[in-house]
Chains A and B, each alone.
Chain A
Amino acid sequence: MTFLTRKDMLWFVVLALVLLIVFPLGLETFRLNLFGKYLTYGFVVLGLVLCWGDAGILSLGQGVFFGLGGYCMAMFLKLEASTPAATKIQSTPGIPDFMDWNQLTALPAFWQPFHSLAFSLVAVVAVPTLLAFGIGLAMFTRRVGGTYFAIITQAFAAILTILIIGQQGYTGGVNGMTDLRTLLGWDIRTDHAKMILYFVNAVLLLGAALLSHVVRRSKLGRILVAMRDKEDRVRFSGYNVAHFKIFVFCFAAALAGVGGAMFTLQVGFMSPSFVGIVPSIELVIYCAVGGRTSLLGVIYGTVLVCAARAAFSEAMPQLWLFAMGSLFILVVVAFPTGLAGVYRTYLDPRLDRLLPWLGRGRAPTTATVERPMHAAAME
């Protein structure tokens, strides 16, 4: 089976050019760092394409996994920043500053392993994946789906936020973990480091997109779509639907965790405001604007929405929320299939006529079959 058609290849190359050449050359360092931050959300929306777009599992709690990945990274960086020398004004030097404010006098046991970078990097992927596995196992084997599942993921987002804010001695509370400085002695705050992190992030994102693409083009990917469209038929054909759902939910969570870690590295801190319900829903909106069945569409959608958000709020600090709201309403009403839908309806046929050689060697396109957004949301 062909995993990459010529056209797929063309668009991947275009995306790679945009991320690796156009953005770095066209944006000043400050803006590039911002775009790097937007691209970390790209990991989450890629996961949502598989989870929501293909398998029809709407998760309103992806911020949880993003946040957990980010917190795992932040814990490592925070420990590195909290050397006894850097924290000598505290009552207990050598522990993170927020622990000292909260009258902790020793590093809690669950923080100890985060002295190790290797452990932390594994945790970035493993912690979100294990939580997703737990939630998936509990929900999907009981055939909880659709709206009920979405509500439960929201509840998890709320629970985790409350937990983080409430346990401020262990987590930094509302303030989050701030003032992260170095990664193994390498200062991550300099413009040069930001540039390198941007490229690491962009390459990882391209890799993640490619991996997601392979998963979608595989037999597994087609089962996911089949599950979305007629779950019972898949079940009667002898497939264990729950297993596939758990897999795709874990896959999305792992990607989100990587995004969170890259976010922490580039932004220099992590806070509970990325874990809650609102950011989780924003991530779903990015996905919807991009077109939730197109891997590349959602990446463009995310960058576009985030850039619009920054532009609106800079241009009209008092009114930017209304502008964002109008934008979302406009997209949902006028382009229910998002950017990718616009491309498929108007550009793709023309491209086929213009460059017929691109269309040859086309893989089956079941995974890109689009249904109106509200139909899936209702189920």
Chain B
Amino acid sequence: MSDDAHAPHSLFRRRLMQGLVALPAAAMLPRAAWAASPATAAVNTTGLAVTDDTVTVGILHSITGTMAISETGSVEAEKLAIAQINESGGVLGRQIKIIQEDGASDWPNFAEKAKKLLASDHCAAVFGCWTSASRKAVLPVFEQYNGMLYYPTFYEGLEQSKNVIYTGQEATQQILAGLDWVNRTKGSKSFYLLGSDYIWPRTSNKIARKHIEAHLTGCKVVGEDYFPLGHTQFNSVINKIKLTKPDVIYAIIVGGSNVAFYKQLNAAGIDLSKQTLLTISVTEDEIVGIGGKNIAGAFACMKYFESLKNPNNEKFVPAFQKMWGANTVIGDVTQAAYLGPWLWKLTAEKAGSFDIDKIVAASPGIEFKGAPEGYVRIHENHHLWSKTRVGKALVNGQYEVVYETSDLVQPNPFPKGYQ
């Protein structure tokens, strides 16, 4: 590879990057902090884009196209984390430079851009992807070029790669505790499973069904239905729900379909303060579209809510809103995206190197005490130990936390008995 592969490819891009990097903190850093930084030859033996005072990482999300609305929060969180890390002295004495690429809501394009970030830009780490489809598209690229991906979204599990750290929850973490909770506190016995028709809802509902039928005594699934992405006609399934009268509607509907679904539930006279509805797909970001009054009373089960009360979160939320606007909301995935750069920094410092193999080796056991969701730790399987929480949707678009697991829940991407 030629040397210019490390250099920005155009004047415009160089300016853009300088802008991005210089904005937060680079200039404010005391020179003394760099004096102690280890030699480049020692921390980078594999030709990554590391210089004596910078290290280059990639951000790869959709900022155009249909997924942009969801992924923007993740980009913002990652940039905030990187700005904060730079302010506090960088990683191994080096300031983080960002190369941002647009996945454009197009999975093959994600693969192309991932290849560019790794093969051409030699990024030390990439923070990115959102949908399972985009992750599946880039996974072979990261394995081939031996890159490091920090993936923020809660997802279906059934995957584990040495080149990926999954900072969101896998399906069992997100599902089991919530079902146990609703069964215990509401005495719910019958469940109606709903989902958008692709791998995450299908796998999640499969796990939910197995858990309901095998582990919750006397409980049963009374219906299971799937809808194409973007579907907006839920009247027939709402009629079925009215007929079967389930104790719990378990909904894993994603994206724009949510707006139609909750409005039509309301219009059909299903009052969410009386009918228990548990979702794992609606974060504060989605409520902005759905409208707080349409979903108030529903329960969501995930690991983070913006309203969490802890010292970390009380610093994180104002910092986020200061950087990106007072009206921005922070959902589960946005918070998980914020963890990525921090976990990478901690891992690199434990490994004393940016080399991917050393990062991989050092990852298990990395603890991050500053996480807005509270303490998290990387498991041997590259997922995070994290607490699971249940929130109740309020009219103002926020969740009120009504339950959290007492301990961190172990990630189990290949759950026995649930496949």
Contacts and interface: CB of A to CB of B under 8 A. Distances in A.
A and B associate: yes
Interface of A: 28-31, 33-34, 37, 89, 91, 98, 101-103, 162, 165-166, 168, 173-176, 178-181, 189, 267-269, 271, 273-274, 310-311, 313-318, 320-321
Interface in B219-275: 228-229
Contacts of A101: 156, 158, 199, 202-203
Contacts of A162: 228
A29 B119 contact: yes
A91 B419 contact: yes
Interface in B1-37: 1-2, 5, 9-10, 12-13, 16
B139 A179 contact: yes
A28 B5 contact: yes
Contacts of B132: 175
Contacts of A180: 140
Nearest to A30: B119
Given A174-B229, A269-B140, A314 B116 contact: yes
Nearest to B15: A315
Interface in B285-327: none
B181 interface: no
A311 B113 CA distance: 11
Interface stretch (B43-51, B103-111, B367-375, B384-392): B103-111
B87 interface: no
A314 B348 CA distance: 27
B9 A314 contact: yes
Interface of B: 1-2, 5, 9-10, 12-13, 16, 63-64, 100-102, 104, 106-108, 111-113, 115-116, 119-120, 131-133, 136-137, 139-140, 144, 156, 158, 197-199, 202-203, 206, 228-229, 414, 419
Given A30-B115, A34-B112, A318-B63, A176 B107 contact: yes
Closest 4 CB pairs of A and B: A30-B119, A317-B102, A175-B133, A178-B136
B296 to A, nearest CB: 31
B116 A317 contact: no
Nearest to A178: B136
A91 B229 CA distance: 27
Contacts of A267: 108, 111-112
Contacts of B101: 313-314, 317
Contacts of B2: 28
Interface centre among B10, B107, B131, B229 (most CB of A within 10 A): B107
B104 A189 contact: no
Contacts, number: 112
B110 to A, nearest CB: 10
Nearest to B59: A317
A318 B103 CA distance: 11
B288 to A, nearest CB: 21
B13 A166 contact: no
8 contacts: A176-B137, A189-B144, A268-B140, A271-B133, A274-B108, A315-B16, A320-B102, A321-B64
A136 to B, nearest CB: 29
Contacts of A102: 199, 202
Contacts of B119: 29-30
A315 B139 contact: no
Contacts of A179: 136, 139-140
B137 A316 contact: no
Given A29-B119, A165-B228, A173 B63 contact: no
Contact of B104 (A175, A176, A313): A313
A317 B156 CA distance: 29
B13 A269 contact: no
A262 to B, nearest CB: 14
B419 A30 contact: no
B106 to A, nearest CB: 5
Given A168-B199, A273-B107, A315 B12 contact: yes
A273 B106 contact: yes
Contacts of B197: 166, 168
Contacts of A318: 63-64, 102
A166 B228 contact: yes
Contacts of B102: 313, 317-318, 320
A91 to B, nearest CB: 5
Contacts of B203: 101
Contact of A175 (B5, B100, B116, B199): B199
A173 B13 CA distance: 36
A161 to B, nearest CB: 11
Contacts of B419: 91
Contacts of A178: 136-137, 139-140
A273 B2 CA distance: 33
Nearest to B1: A28
B120 A31 contact: yes
Contacts of B5: 28
B198 A168 contact: yes
Given A189-B144, A313-B104, A320-B102, A28 B120 contact: yes
Contacts of A317: 63, 100-102
B13 A315 contact: yes
A103 B5 CA distance: 45
Residue of A30, A176, A181, A268 most packed against chain B (CB within 10 A): A30
A17 to B, nearest CB: 22
A176 to B, nearest CB: 7
Contacts of B10: 311, 315
Nearest to B119: A30
A317 B19 CA distance: 14
Residue of B2, B106, B137, B228 with most chain A CB atoms under a 10 A cut-off: B137
